[in-house]
Amino acid sequence: MDNDARLYVKTVLDLYLALPETPTRVSRFDRSLALQLFQRAVPRSTIDTAFLLASARRLCRPPDAPSLGPIRSLHYFLPVIEEIIHHPPPDGYVQYLRHKLATWRLPKPLTTDPSSQI
C-alpha cells in the first residue's frame, strides 16, 4: 500500500473511531472497506459528510423512538456514503448539520424561576 493509500485509510478510520457509538478499534473488514473506498477514489469530504449525516440521523431521533444498537462496523455507513455520492447535499447543508449536532446535546440552561422547576 502506498503512502497516499495509507494516509487515506488512516484518516477514514480515525474519523470513524471518533464518531459516537462506534467501536474503540477497527477490524480488518473496516480496513479493507477503507482501502476499497480509496481505490474507488471516494473523496474524504464525501465520507466525512456521510459520517456527519448518519450521526445526525441517529442522534437527532425523537426521544420516544426505540433505541438503536451500537455501530459495529464501518460498513454501517456504506449506504449513506453511496447516497452522498449519488445525491450530494445542497450547499450549506453540511454546515447546518454540524451546527445542529453541536447544539443538539447541549445541556438546558438553568432557570432561576422557581415556578418553572417542577
Which residue ranges make up each domain of the chain? 3-60+72-100
Distance (Å, whole) CA 32 – CA 40: 12
CA dihedral 44, 38, 34, 45 (to 10 degrees): 10
Q: What angle do CA 70, 76, 62 make, to 5 degrees?
A: 55
pTM exceeding the 0.85 threshold for the entire prediction: no
Q: How far is CA 43 from the centre of its chain?
A: 15
Please give the pLDDT value at position 108. Answer: 44
The CA R_g of the chain, rounded to the nearest whole Å, is 18
Please give the pLDDT value at position 118. Answer: 43
pLDDT at 112 over 60: no
Better pLDDT: 99 or 10: 10
Please give the pLDDT value at position 15. Answer: 94
